[in-house]
Amino acid sequence: MNVDVVVIGGGQAGLAAGYYLRRAGLDFVVLDDQTHPGGSWQNYWPSLHLFSPAEHSRLPGWPMPPWHSGFPPASHVVDYLRAYEKKYELPVHRPVRVQSVHRVEGGYRVDTDGAVYVAAAVINATGTWSRPFWPSYPGMREFRGKQLHATDYDTPDMFAGKRVGIVGGGNSAAQILAEVSTVAETLWFTSREPRFLPDDVDGRVLFDVASDRARALASGDADTGGVAGLGDIVMVPPVKEARNRGVLHARPMFTAITADGVTDGDTIDKLDAIVWCTGFRPALRHLQPLHLHAEGSVIALDDNHVRDEPNLLFLGYGDWTGPASATLIGVGRTARAAVNTLVRRGKVDQS
């Protein structure tokens, strides 16, 4: 199948790209390996809620319908993304898994577990959820208890009455700890002191800080960073409640894992389970045949396209691909910029 643009990934980033591609009148498809709409939101643990109100979590064009009280649950985002896809008649093909991307005359060939697609441009929006990051610690394989990543976490029931280590200093760790600590004894390990946002501040502030940064960068001002980063912990109700119960105390990271616990070299903390809330990496395996130029471990980008490869764009991976681009409200800005770049250069066929 020949198209102007193939978008890989049908989560919020892929849909935002689809919105602008549709508006630009380009011929495109979105390829997504899930059986249903919703991207990674459909795989989050059931209790996960947004850390900002619905009206502050919108994709371009159509706002997320309000949620009746508090911040919406992940299932509300899934419903929104499903309806969004339908409203803008976005051509999402699923389940289609992209296996590899290759350069061909005039563009790229995208090999999948079904059809083969050829396109002048590729927008890569595969997210990070499918590539959980597990750090490596001595003794990890000897541990006799259960180890799981946040991506495998569902409900706290399996930990009832146990002693559980939660590793990581971000929002996933704080939220999972808040929940697990209602049924189990928890020990929280972080490599630096966790940074909590003030109680009266929610995810909106993080987005505002990121937007200020985007504006500063766009106008050529020096990047001044900000007081809050997207790694700062938002005091959502369960996390506040955990603090009130006195369980929100982090301890320094252990140095090794033993058969029945973790150690800092002096003492051993016995554990039945370890939950690794240690983040994710971009899901880019299908791009390996392209041997993209990397600086250190990161693929070199100019704006949001791969350096020396202006028709291969990356979307939605966080600051690497634009301030707040991993959020619902922030991804539209980078999606618009990406599609504008393609249209302005006239590289894709618009006949």
Ligand X SMILES: Cc1cc2nc3c(=O)[nH]c(=O)nc-3n(C[C@H](O)[C@H](O)[C@H](O)COP(=O)(O)OP(=O)(O)OC[C@H]3O[C@@H](n4cnc5c(N)ncnc54)[C@H](O)[C@@H]3O)c2cc1C
- Give residues in contact with ligand X (CB under 6 A): 8-14, 31-34, 39-41, 48, 50-52, 57, 97-98, 125-127, 129-130, 171-172, 203, 283, 286, 316, 326-328
Our CB check for ligand X shows the closer of 143 and 314 to be 314
Our CB check for ligand X shows the closer of 74 and 262 to be 74
Q: What three-state secondary structure class fits 301?
A: strand
Helix (H) or strand (E) holding 261: strand 261-263
Asked if 9 and 39 count as a contact pair (C-beta separation under 8 A), the reply is yes
Residues in the chain: 351
Our CB check for ligand X shows the closer of 112 and 311 to be 112
CB of 264 to ligand X, least distance (A): 28
Cα–Cα distance between 145 and 211 in angstroms, integer? 43
Q: Which of 57, 117, 63, 124 is nearest to 93 (CA)?
A: 117
Our CB check for ligand X shows the closer of 148 and 268 to be 148
Per DSSP, the residues of 85-129 read HHHTT--EE-S--EEEEEEETTEEEEEESS-EEEEEEEEE---ST
CB of 296 to ligand X, least distance (A): 22
CB of 130 to ligand X, least distance (A): 5
Please tell me what DSSP assigns to residue 58: P
Asked if 310 and 299 count as a contact pair (C-beta separation under 8 A), the reply is no
CB of 311 to ligand X, least distance (A): 18
Q: What three-state secondary structure class fits 143?
A: coil
Pairing status of strand 273-276 against strand 163-167: parallel
CB of 69 to ligand X, least distance (A): 16
Our CB check for ligand X shows the closer of 262 and 326 to be 326
CB of 142 to ligand X, least distance (A): 29
CB neighbour list of residue 202: distance below 8 Å, 6 or more residues apart: 51, 52, 53, 71, 234, 235, 236
Our CB check for ligand X shows the closer of 50 and 306 to be 50
Render the burial of 154-174: b for 16+ CB within 10 Å, e for the rest.
eebeebeebbbbbbbbbbbbb
Our CB check for ligand X shows the closer of 14 and 107 to be 14
CB of 312 to ligand X, least distance (A): 14
